[in-house]
Structure 1
Amino acid sequence: QREPHELYSLFSSGLQLSQSCDLSLPCCADEGSLSSTKCPQISGVRVQLEMQALWQQFDQLGTEMIVTKAGRRMFPTFQVRISGMDPSAEYVLLMDFIPVDSKRYRYAFHSSSWLVAGRADVAAPSRMHFHPDSPARGAQWMKQTVSFDSLKLTNNLLDDNGHMILNSMHRYQPRFHVVYVDPAPNSHLNAYKNFCSFSFPETRFMAVTAYQNHRITQLKIASNPFAKGFRTTDPQHLPPASISPPSGTVQGHHETASLSRFKRSKVF
């Protein structure tokens, strides 16, 4: 059984050598003959994003994810369903985050929109997050939802806890990677054939140290089960995230207080 650092090395070398995966598609190959560049244990792998409708709701508003020195979990949590694996083969699952562009942003409250504020800061150290159950056989991965609920985001460049280091006010695209653990002694020669990458545009987000768009805060309170204490009404009767409560009303004051407490909390 390979050590994690060895698997990371093999994966990294393969990632550098291969550009055949279209990262906007939830499947391994993009067009025609490119599928033949992957080994049989990888070429048939398909990935479906869980809670896709919720991700799309956030994406329409402009998803924001909190980053802190200590590290903060994502919400929505990145979860997928996998099919097409070889049930008896072993696989490693991991994630990384890549900048969407080379820009830094700021939030304009008067227009409720993100504006370009300049060139991106120096990129944070690149890291991979291994799913803690890795490596495991394909049969195990495919029998249930795969959740990256232990993954945390930080803006601490000196982090030694293995959290994903991101720059605040920059946009990121999460990427999900499936790596076949090839038992052959010379597997490093075919590293580019033994993995596949997946990404979903609706999971893009802006890294922030505090929520900027109050509609994002409202939607997180309404949909996050760990935020029940911040709800002032039955969650089934909460107003849509795109609608703000009337200012000056009792409901408006309660809602404002709830949002303020949520922003100060450590709940996603």
Structure 2
Amino acid sequence: MELQGSDLWNRFHEIGTEMIITKAGRRMFPSVRVKVRNLDPFKQYYIAMDIMPVDSKRYRYVYHSSQWMVAGNTDHSCIAPRLYVHPDSPCSGETWMRQVISFDRVKLTNNEMDDKGHIILQSMHRYKPRVHVIEHDPRLDLSQMLSLPAEGVHTFSFPETQFTTVTAYQNQQITKLKIDRNPFAKGFRDPGRNRGVLDGILESYPWRNPISLDFKPFALELQGSQSNSDPLSNSA
């Protein structure tokens, strides 16, 4: 198996890759994209991805030294790893081998109650993606599998894809590289980016319909009330 975009992954890895996680779920950038070889062209395979902890440590970013430091130990057992099955699964080995397999739809969340199929991770921890090639077993329905089968699985991982989870980017170099290389961050690179970002926020914000207030009847009523109570007019 070959990682696509490894040059970009390595640029992030040299700095210290960070991935945003949110309650609603956030896509990865860079995303995991691979090519597979040496499959049986006539067999059916599932391709899946999960994300596993690198260690049992919790981290914090030290700004004055611009580096990550261990902040303590953690327990990952409270969160069961989720398996993301590629939506094209199952496919023949021939089909898989002639295309780039992209996991750009994978979303990361810190919502432990998530019911949308996003991968649940903890903030300020280190993780690594794993890609699995699973031989189709006609005796099993693997389309909704929650964990890896006991056999017929080949697992691959790439050291340069390790990352630290954050709710906001800690390293400014990571922020700059993401803006420079992520095609969806074009609005931040344009000269009029402030306007573009604001427009995007306005479009996505769940505004309520504007309320129209007509003060004319109230003003007329108030004017009439004042004229009726005017002592000068009453004495005329």
TM range (shorter): 0.7 to 0.9
Q: Is the Cα contact below 8 Å between 1:81 and 1:146 reproduced in 2?
A: yes
Matches within 5 A, 1:10-49: 47-49=1-3
Q: Check if 1:174 corresponds to 2:139.
A: no
Q: Check if 1:112 corresponds to 2:70.
A: no
Listed one character per residue, the Cα deviations across residues 157-212 of structure 1 (whole Å, up to 9, x for unaligned) are 00000000000000001111000013468xxxxx6441100000000000110000
Q: Distance in 2 between the 1:204 and 1:73 partners?
A: 15
Q: Report the TM-score when normalising by structure 1.
A: 0.66
Q: Report the TM-score when normalising by structure 2.
A: 0.75
* Per-residue deviation, 1:218: 0.4
CA distance 1:122–1:183, change in 2 (3 Å)? closer
Q: Distance in 2 between the 1:51 and 1:158 partners?
A: 33
Alignment partner of 1:78 out of 29, 32, 37 = 32
Q: Distance in 2 between the 1:168 and 1:125 partners?
A: 15
**RMSD over aligned Cα atoms:** 2.4
Q: Name 1:93's counterpart in structure 2.
A: 47
Q: Name 1:230's counterpart in structure 2.
A: 188
SS in 1 for 2:36: strand
- % same residue: 54
* Unpaired segments ≥5 residues, structure 2: 141-148, 205-236
* Per-residue deviation, 1:59: 0.2
CA distance 1:182–1:58, change in 2 (3 Å)? same
Q: Is the Cα contact below 8 Å between 1:125 and 1:157 reproduced in 2?
A: no
Q: Is the Cα contact below 8 Å between 1:66 and 1:208 reproduced in 2?
A: yes
Aligned AA (2:66): S
Q: Name 2:220's counterpart in structure 1.
A: none
Q: Distance in 2 between the 1:74 and 1:121 partners?
A: 24
Q: Is the Cα contact below 8 Å between 1:156 and 1:165 reproduced in 2?
A: yes
Aligned AA (1:110): H
Alignment partner of 1:149 out of 104, 110, 116 = 104
Moved runs in structure 1, 4+ residues, more than 4 A? none
* Unpaired segments ≥5 residues, structure 1: 1-46, 186-190, 234-253
Aligned AA (1:57): R
